[in-house]
Structure 1
Amino acid sequence: MTTLQLPDLARPDAGTTLISEWIVDTPDRQRRAGRALLEEWGELSARFRPEAFLRLSCFASADGRVLLSVAQWADDDALLAFVREHRAEMVGSIDREVPGIRRPGLIRCRLAHTVVPDGVGADTTDVIVARAESGPASDAVRWAEATADRLRASPPAGAGTAHVFVSGDSTRGLLYAPVTQANDVAGARLYRLLGAVTGPSPGTDDTGPSGGSSAF
């Protein structure tokens, strides 16, 4: 059995990252939707072999209400083309399995800051995610800078390498950080990695070309 590993969100070949939260409401629906999401991405990756697709990681919120997906691509144009052509097919299949999923929207992100605290290195599959929602373009950039500065000055207890993202239109920000213990980061939601699907290019991930790993 392959050991689950968090994605490397600072990998140099990732030109764009797509982050999405799905509201599913219950732990049972969360489990079923997570399995369906990983199966659909695995099938699409194997069938179409998009060379720019690196990895999709699926996370479940600790409260059982939300799924988080983090898709890493080498090229933004390739990501947009793939989503336009295949997302409706994938979503339709998942909705037949788990009707009524609410999807607030996708965020195409660029990595703005990576903060490595002293003593990082503990293994974990738990992460916290916090958002700064839409506003003027300059607000998200300032939020990202202020968040990175705060993490450097006073990292949360048990936090690993943190990544701060800004959306492609610079109106939204997002913090993603592995954690090894509970913390009190304001507005953050705790997630645990459920599984991952990797792209077709050799060396994209430890799980192998078009492979995957899952906690299911």
Structure 2
Amino acid sequence: MTTLQLPDLARPDAGTTLISEWIVDTPERQDRAGRALLGEWDELSARFRPEAFLRLSCFASADGRVLLSVAQWASDEAHLAFVREHRAEMVGRIDREIPGIRRPGLVRYRLAHTVVPDSVGDDTTDVIVVARAESEPASHAARWAEATADRLRAAPHPGMGSAHVFVSENGARGLLYAPVTQANGVAGARPYRLLGTVAGPGAVADGARPADGGSARRA
């Protein structure tokens, strides 16, 4: 059985964390789209060796409707330069294979808080929960992030591992990401399971194998 490793969202060389959703509607399309996305990034990373690309992790929502991508890059500038050159062709290939994917958009996040419970949960699980504060003024999102971190420090959810709380680059959104062994009962959070990862050329620091044509790891 292959063990999938969750990304280290507190790694110091990650200058930006990019989170996006693809709405795919059914478990069958979710699986196909996830495998296509991982395959495309694996191939691109191996061929072009973008040093600023650290890791892409692809998650499947428990209801079978959504793919969640969490990408770590050294900087926004490096990511933007790479996707300007390669994204349209990559997405075009995926859309020809799985037409009708809806993409609400990518959000650039900065890590605001990391909460490590006194009784640490299982960080080796392949299940996470994600909760959001959407479309809030900058001060509200920052306050939400601080309040969320304080609440988790005071009363961590049973079975929750190291939780990471983000605020978007534009200050308008907050996001909680946490590995869990018990997804039920995390108020306002959506559970996801890790489908696979692609490690970029700079990913040795987190223990993942750099992309070399075979590093996309799938369930």
Q: Which residue identity does 1:182 align to in structure 2? A: A
Q: What runs of 5+ residues in structure 1 fail to find an aligned partner? A: none
Deviations 1:60-104 (A, max 9, x none): 011101000000011221012112222211111111111101111
Q: Which residue identity does 2:3 align to in structure 1? A: T
1:16 aligned partner? 16
Bigger CA drift: 29-38 or 111-120?
111-120
1:214 aligned partner? 217
1:49 aligned partner? 49
In the TM superposition, residue 38 of structure 1 has moved relative to its aligned partner by 0.1
Note closer, same or farther for the CA distance 1:156–1:183 as it changes in structure 2 (3 Å cut).
Answer: farther
Q: Which runs of 4+ in 1 moved over 3 A?
A: none
Whole-Å separation in 2 of the counterparts to 1:75 and 1:182: 32
SS at match of 1:177: strand
In the TM superposition, residue 185 of structure 1 has moved relative to its aligned partner by 2.2
TM-score (norm 1): 0.95
SS at match of 1:208: coil
Note closer, same or farther for the CA distance 1:202–1:61 as it changes in structure 2 (3 Å cut).
Answer: closer
* Counterpart contact for 2:121–2:161, Cα < 8 Å: yes
SS at match of 2:177: strand
1:68 aligned partner? 68
Percent sequence identity over aligned pairs: 78
In the TM superposition, residue 107 of structure 1 has moved relative to its aligned partner by 0.6
Whole-Å separation in 1 of the counterparts to 2:39 and 2:217: 10
Whole-Å separation in 2 of the counterparts to 1:182 and 1:207: 25
In the TM superposition, residue 130 of structure 1 has moved relative to its aligned partner by 0.7
1:142 aligned partner? 143
1:65-214 to 2 correspondence within 5 Å? Answer: 65-122=65-122, 123-201=124-202, 203-211=204-212, 212-214=215-217
In the TM superposition, residue 142 of structure 1 has moved relative to its aligned partner by 0.8
Whole-Å separation in 2 of the counterparts to 1:193 and 1:131: 19
SS at match of 1:203: helix
What is the Cα-based RMSD across aligned positions, in Å?
1.4
Whole-Å separation in 1 of the counterparts to 2:121 and 2:159: 10
Bigger CA drift: 77-86 or 24-33?
77-86
In the TM superposition, residue 205 of structure 1 has moved relative to its aligned partner by 4.1
Whole-Å separation in 2 of the counterparts to 1:169 and 1:3: 35
* Number of equivalenced pairs: 216
Deviations 1:161-211 (A, max 9, x none): 000011110001110000011332222110000100011136244332215
